Amino acid sequence: MALGAFYIYAHGWRKLAGGVHEWHQIGMAVRFVGIHFLYDFWGLMAALSETIGCALVILGFCFRPACMLLFITLFVACAMHLGSGQGLKGASEALELAIVFFSLLFIGPGKYSVDKS
């Protein structure tokens, strides 16, 4: 829960509120995974996954799809940091969080989640 709240505060909300110019800048990271179109769209999708996706993780609602979207977003961030020459030092935060969200895919939301059956 704390991870999701911090991530929304530190990363997601700033990107979402940044508008089209910010989304374009963020979306250009997809170049490092071979996508060369719709940078505004991909930036908006990253901002939404980091904001709404983390809110869903906090609630435990659509937990696994949200974790998968966050993992993909962070995988692209890792590729961007590594591809731009920053090495592991630059990619470490994105890589660590990608591992966390990938692990949460298998762990699941827990017994107090909203969509617990």
The mean pLDDT value for 6-20 works out to 91
**Cβ atoms of residues 74 and 94 within 8 Å:** yes
Which tens digits make up the pLDDT trace of 63-103? 999 999 999 999 999 999 999 999 999 999 999 999 999 99
CA distances from 44 to 16, 32, 65, 77, 81 (A): 7, 17, 17, 14, 19
Return d(Cα 19, Cα 47) in angstroms, integer. Answer: 10
The mean pLDDT value for 21-50 works out to 96
CA atoms within 13 A on the CB side of 98: 14
